Amino acid sequence: MTKILVIEDEPESRDIFLDSLKAEGFEAIAAENGLVGIQQAQEHLPDLVLCDIMMPELDGYGVLNALRQNPLTATIPFIFLSAKSTKTEVRQGMNLGADDYLTKPSTVEDLLEAIATRLEKQATMRQCYVAQSPPVPESQSTDADTSADSQSILPTCPQLKEVFDFIEANYHQSITLCDVAQAVGYSAAYLTDLVRRQTGKPVNHWIVERRMAAVRTLLLETNQSANQIAEAVGYQNEGHFFRQFRQYHGTTPQAWRKAQQIE
């Protein structure tokens, strides 16, 4: 069932959205403010987020920025719902990576049409990415990447070749989205939107994907400690490394290595 997160501080509006979505067969999740919304998004990983802008604790712009910075939530379609409708305000949301912007009051039909459009576009992007991704040879495991196979983690998009060449050459450094954007001559906001539309995932996701591939190779082929490996692939904060590894693999680096050795 398709999950949709509704982040709205007004109880009446929130209930209307939830009831409308449930009536259409969606699994609707509610959040009464921005901070709760971020927690719900990270816990439930919804298929789409509907979010008000003016809210206590954290406004919609802060919510969108936080979700786009997390690889697990960065590609979730995001629709703003707000009474704010000036061109400047709409542009601010779009520059942060919003997918659509509905002005309240909106009809249920407008809301459902916007949701359907975003979900269809997301599905199309995923299909295109899968079609463009190189197949994994049968003799190789998707978890136990060799060095050569690790490089194939990055997409082969001609329009983004310079972007992924830079990531490949520098993933072991503490590079960020801003470093990649500066290297290829784009603004961070434009590059984020470009890569996400071309691959279905943002720049930060691909940096982490490349690092995780290198981590798996080092865990399998060397006796380096997890802390040494973290430093070797560009992590300056060991706690950040361990959290990301667990997010991607569901366990610790040491436990993953031991499980592969047993197999």
- Measuring CA to CA, which residue among 58, 51, 48 is closest to residue 8? 51
Beta partners for 49? 5, 78
Backbone angles phi, psi at 3, to 5 degrees: -100, 130
Residue 173's pLDDT band (cuts 50, 70, 90): very high
What is the C-alpha separation between 139 and 134, in angstroms, rounded?
Answer: 14
SS3 106: coil
Q: What was the pLDDT predicted at 255? A: 93
**Each residue of 119-138: pLDDT tens digit?**
887 676 655 554 544 443 33
Mean pLDDT within 187-214: 86
263 burial (CB, 10 Å; 0-12 / 13-18 / 19+) is exposed
Q: Are 226 and 254 in contact (CB under 8 A)?
A: yes
Q: How many CA atoms lie within 13 A of 215 on its CB side?
A: 29
The average pLDDT across 65-89 equals 79
Residue matched to tokens 């990531």: 167
**What pLDDT does residue 128 have?**
54
Three-class SS state of 50: strand
Q: How far apart are CA 101 and CA 94, in angstroms?
A: 8
Instruction: Report the pLDDT value the prediction gives residue 81, as an integer from 0 to 100.
Output: 85
Is-contact 253 228, C-beta < 8 A?
no
Q: Provide the token pair at 78.
A: 């995001």
pLDDT of residue 134: 47
Residue with tokens 């298929």: 47
3 state DSSP class of 214: helix
Domains recognised in the chain with CATH numbers: 3-129 (3.40.50.2300), 147-262 (1.10.10.60)
* pLDDT at res. 236: 87
Q: Counting every residue, how long is the chain?
A: 263
- Write the single-letter amino acid at 17: F
